[in-house]
Chains A and B, each alone.
With several copies, the nearest count.
Chain A
Amino acid sequence: MILHLINKSPAKSSALEDCIAVLQAKKSTSAMMLIEDAVYLTVSQAGNEALHEKIRTLALPCYILKEDLTIRGLSLDLADCFSLVDYAGFVQLSLDYDKVQNWS
């Protein structure tokens, strides 16, 4: 049970894709947590929507840090593969899972 912490935009890093590849390889009860520029994944554009579909297929939680959407002026009305959390929720998730693993 790992909380995978991703902080780079999918346009700038293969972090999310590489993380998904490992999660696809072996069934687990892990989750993804997207912060900083990784929250640009929520913007509805072609490349992002393919990733949304991969997350749906994984059927694992994908949390989005609300504050990082707000400062970027991005919509809080998210696709169904995402859940919003605030910093308190982020801290709690860090404890709910066995460990936090970064992908940058």
Chain B
Amino acid sequence: MNPKNILIIIRQAPYSSTLPAAALDILLTAAAFEQNITLLFMGDGVLHLLSEQNATSSGMRNISKALPSLELYEVKKIFLEESALHKRKIENEELVMPLATLSLPEIAEVTEKADQVFNF
């Protein structure tokens, strides 16, 4: 059976919800099943990419530390929404890793091509 195209979108800000951590766990499991994975950060989801996070006193999982290691899991298609950084006046240098961007029409296209979307 051909691998499925799975698109995982993270739109929620860190610490507001456990869904982004759930998304990461689905991603890692699907990667272990050798599915074809795309990860996209939209809207407030880009705040997960800020490099200075420190979860110690929050009781919640911080996914920013796991992101740079995703390549080890053969997850190479990681994008962020084009305007999301600019809107929040965040510079590329503040991110844990450099990422390619997608415009809204490109996001629409990636979404249409996916077999399944997890949009958290």
Interface centre among A24, A73, A102 (most CB of B within 10 A): A73
Instruction: Give the interface size class of chain A.
Output: 20 to 34
State which of B11, B15, B108, B120 has its C-beta within 8 Å of the C-beta of A72: B15
**The one of B14, B15, B87, B111 that contacts A46, using a Cβ cutoff of 8 Å:** B87
What are the 9 tightest A-B residue pairs by CB atom distance, in nearest-first order? A73-B50, A25-B104, A26-B108, A73-B53, A73-B52, A101-B117, A25-B105, A44-B89, A26-B105
| B120 CB, nearest partner CB in chain A, Å | 7
The count of A-to-B residue pairs whose CB atoms sit within 8 angstroms is 95
- With A21-B104, A72-B50 given, is the CB distance from A26 to B109 under 8 Å? yes
> Which residues of B approach A to under 8 Å, CB–CB?
11-16, 19, 42-44, 47, 50-58, 62, 64, 87-89, 103-105, 107-109, 111-112, 114-120
